[in-house]
Amino acid sequence: SQQGEEDPQALSIQEGENATMNCSYKTSINNLQWYRQNSGRGLVHLILIRSNEREKHSGRLRVTLDTSKKSSSLLITASRAADTASYFCATDADDNDMRFGAGTRLTVKP
């Protein structure tokens, strides 16, 4: 079954605004990753945060992880039209199987 669940399912913002997506999961994890999927394309790895980390930055991306709440958030600052895509969290537990959520569809309007 799915491990991660993203919230919201869909998000529409104006260019320049910040976008925040959340991911909740059910079991203990080794790490959590965020992926982006442009329409009709494969997934592209964005960022990984390990279970002993609380926050990580990469360019305009900021990821937080709260293992006590089993949740993570992805913040995209100063969004651009090119950020329009679906975003997925994926959790990696001891079974080495990555489990994906259903994704958040982000639309950034120019």
Count of all residues that appear for the chain in the document: 110
Q: Supply the minimum distance, in Å, between the C-beta of residue 65 and other proteins.
A: 14
Binding mask 41-60 for other proteins (x = CB under 8 A): xxxxx--x------------
Binding segment (CB under 8 A) for other proteins, from list 1-9, 13-21, 60-68, 75-83: 1-9
Which position among 2, 12, 14, 28 is part of the footprint of other proteins (CB under 8 A)?
2
Question: Within positions 83 to 102, which residues make up the interface with other proteins, using CB under 8 A?
Answer: 88, 90, 92, 96-102
What is the rounded distance in angstroms from the CA atom of residue 84 to the CA atom of residue 60? 14
What is the rounded distance in angstroms from the CA atom of residue 108 to the CA atom of residue 110? 6
The token pair that represents 2 in the structure block? 């799915």
Q: Supply the minimum distance, in Å, between the C-beta of residue 6 and other proteins.
A: 8
Residue 65 in contact with residue 51, Cβ under 8 Å? yes
Residue 102 in contact with residue 7, Cβ under 8 Å? no
Residue 106 in contact with residue 21, Cβ under 8 Å? yes
Q: Which residues bind other proteins (CB under 8 A)?
A: 1-2, 4, 30-31, 33, 35, 40-45, 48, 88, 90, 92, 96-103
